Chains A and B, each alone.
Chain A
């Protein structure tokens, strides 16, 4: 936490605890926590509820720490985008050093607690995912290449693997497929967002694909990533690693995803376009991931 400021007339107001919470990006965290929980529930080995709860908590804390460090590094470009200008750092409600201390402290704490509660494999993957998000995605890729979210997407794909490792102590084919699914899901998800937030990214100088390569290329790329994503989504059922509930949900949801991304790929936006199909694809992509992972966990619980 930030050091307490001396109570003088010129001292800055210490950051509110709600600003520290905002630093962890709670909305982004919900999907990370959910996929981590489903990875844990899909594991063939039962885990004690308290240890399972702690594992999911550590995934959430690790994601929060990565989010805080991301905001610490990106305060300058966050200030330029409407979507992020009200975050604690660009809005001036917190000093950068507090954010850095909070992020590093929370990251170390989440990894140590996960090691204490479960095993070193899960803790090591959590540490790797935090470092990957902060160093590879935020510091290295984001401002340099339009492929930023393709490679950086790996950071968000780790939680189901961490959940699985927390329960089993190892990593097998199913968590690797879940990792691949989230990895391939990330580009269509973020590029759909980038299509209707293009001006924001351009203003901040972030080389997102629609800004650098144009809309046409982005729309094609969305479809090109959707196809292998669907193939990977169906693999757990095809390889008999998941049951019928998963198979039905993954098939149905993938058909809708394919339809929405094809519609986005084939259209061209007009002047002052409301970008409705792109917004629908973005919204459905979140629902898709929730649905597929929920089906996997449900499948495992029903079969058990």
Chain B
């Protein structure tokens, strides 16, 4: 996994397991402990 974070604003995580997709997005403004992945896990 590769994480890109703007402190206090957002965290993005790219995951090799997902073919290097942008698999995690956290809104650190309202979710500072990054509890809610707003773009996953997306299962059918």
**A and B together in one complex:** no
B→A interface (CB under 8 Å): none
